[in-house]
Amino acid sequence: MLPGINKNYLMVMLTALVVSYTAYGQGSTPWGNTASGQISTPLELFTADSSFRHASLSVCFRDLATGDITEEYFSDMSVGSASVMKLLTTAVALETLGPSFRFKTTVSYTGTIDAAGTLYGDIIITGGGDPALGSDHFSSHYGDFISEWCRQIKAAGIRRINGNITGDGSLFGFSPAPGGWSWSDLGNYYGAGAHALSVYDNMFRIHLRSGETGTAPVITATEPEIPGFRVTSHLTAMGTSDRGYVYSIPYSESAYILGTIPPNRDDFVLKASLPDPPLLAAINLFNALKESGTEITGRPVTLRESERNGGSTAPEKRNLIYTTLSPTLIELITITNRESINLYAENILRGIELADGIPGTAVVADSAIQMVYRFLEENGIESSGLFMDDGSGLSRYNAITASVITDFLCHIKSRGRYGELFYSSLPAAGRDGTLRPYFRDPVFAGRMVAKSGTSTRIRNYAGYIKTFSGKEYAFAVLVNNYEGTVADVSEKTGKLLKWWIENR
């Protein structure tokens, strides 16, 4: 017996510890009381759920008015971020560049044009970082941009081209995918890399026809067609869901597909990442010019090819023909946050470096990430525990804490120049984008906007909630390595957030 410690006191404390341990383990017990009869907070019961027994959780609620933490659970623990990282990327870009910023894609020529309309030089498409050129998300904005480029080239007096059609994506360098991206992601649409000259969301569609269970589906078409690119299928028709994965790398000339797709489908579509978007842009303009009657002696090429073959990546003086502007930054950010498009986030991250104009060297992710950290430091926002490897959250090297992201969200909404615009860019619970299938309870209507983050064994949510009492909070519920389904985690998170809205 330790001196000065009463035996009865020790028995009481031991009993309390046993009761507390028992309560912690009752993951499926209704909130408000456990099997032992002890009262626990909703957050305590959420974190004690049996499906989180082996999980890493970081949870934080901050009062938006004061920035103070109201309740937390391991809020300083770094966990995988997934797409919650897009909150940092898009908000810092918005604060740095402003909502009206637009990326530019230019069509220009080198050399000279003679009196007969013959260009002795090249047509060059120069990418300025626009992630959405030709995207279905902005079809009305761009229209038939290739045909417009053709018209503008003819309007410049060019009838014949003694040269090449060149796609120039050099502004972002020639390493479009961060090192932390998985081989199993790169070939799929969500693994499309960041190119300064992007086109069609850097995505193509593989159309397949499947037969009976156990048979091999047949590729019927690729859209758009990529000359010289070979796709091989090792798929099997099986199951009821899409479990087909495309394997390829940037600038590759081939891809192969593994996995399963549902049987007896006449047209099943897999979405894959374009291997070389600048080259496809050049090919499409080349073909359109030829179809319109323009004679071209050269071929479609890229500036990367020139560098690889020992040529210059800084060709002679360019003469501007036409400029295609992207949608405004706030429009791009809204699509990025609501639909969680990795490509857009990666290009927007690199776009932060364009605040002072086009730099003299290639824009790369590492230097843009340092600008994000500098923004946090200059604004007194916590960054300890933040490990940012890309702009989208796709890299498994990314990590963040609930404390960091809620501190950041409080600053943006309360003190940011464009806090309200940023708030409006986020998906509304049960209504927009990636949150449309979740948080459908009427209590969330008009009271919650948030970004989800999903990857293998990761289900995160971070955003803003408004309570019935009129208070506003920034919140983050970050769950890694859980057991069960995404729907299970979302339902349990919804229960916690619903309680918070109704009772705080």
For the segment 30-58, what is each residue's pLDDT rounded down to a tens digit?
344 444 445 489 999 999 999 999 999 99
Kindly report the number of other CB atoms within 10 A of residue 27's CB atom: 15
pLDDT at 311: 55
> What is the pLDDT at residue 308?
62
User: Would you tell me the crossing angle of helices 342-351 and 365-378 to the nearest 10 degrees?
Assistant: 70
Q: Nearest Cα to 453, choosing from 367, 392, 364?
A: 392
36-97+336-503 fold: Beta-lactamase (3.40.710)
pLDDT at 2: 39
Q: Do residues 167 and 302 make contact, with C-beta atoms less than 8 angstroms apart?
A: yes
Question: Where does residue 39 fall: left (phi above 0), alpha (psi -120 to 50 degrees), or beta otherwise?
Answer: beta
Residue 11, pLDDT score: 42
Over residues 78-112, the pLDDT tens digits come to: 999 999 999 999 999 999 999 999 999 999 999 99
- Same CATH topology for 36-97+336-503 and 102-327: the answer is no
Q: What are phi and psi of 99, to 5 degrees?
A: -70, -20
The helix/strand/coil state of 213 is coil
Residue 307's pLDDT band, with cuts at 50, 70 and 90, is low
Lowest mean pLDDT among 211-215, 217-221, 306-310: 306-310
The average pLDDT across 13-28 equals: 36
| Residue 18 confidence (pLDDT) above 50 | no
Q: Residue 131: pLDDT above 90?
A: yes
pLDDT at residue number 24? 34
pLDDT of residue 359: 75
Positive/negative CA dihedral, 103, 128, 453, 435: positive
Tell me the CA end-to-end span of the chain in Å, nearest whole number.
45
Q: Which residue ranges make up each domain of the chain?
A: 36-97+336-503, 102-327
338 pLDDT more than 80:
yes
Whether residue 3 is predicted with pLDDT greater than 90 in this model: the reply is no
How would residue 219 be classed by pLDDT, with cut points 50, 70 and 90? very high
Across residues 195-206, what is the average pLDDT?
Answer: 98
Condensed to tens digits (0 to 9), the pLDDT of residues 356-414 reads 877 767 788 899 999 999 999 999 998 999 999 999 999 999 999 999 999 999 999 99
At residue 19, does pLDDT exceed 60?
Answer: no
In CATH, the number for domain 102-327 is 3.50.80.20
Alpha helices in 28-144 (DSSP H): 42-47, 85-97, 139-142
Per-residue model confidence (pLDDT) at position 27: 35
- Tell me the C-alpha distance between 156 and 405, whole Å: 51
What DSSP assignment string belongs to 355-412? GGS--SS---HHHHHHHHHHHHHHTT---TT-B---SSS-STT-BB-HHHHHHHHHHH
Query: Radius of gyration of the chain from Cα atoms?
Result: 27
Amino acid at 473: Y
If you average pLDDT over every residue of the chain, what do you get? 91
Here the tokens at position 191 are 């693994």
Residues 464 and 475: beta-carbon distance below 8 Å: yes
Tokens of 109: 């020529």
CB neighbour class for 469 (10 Å; exposed up to 12, middle 13-18, buried from 19): exposed
Per-residue pLDDT for 262 more than 90? yes
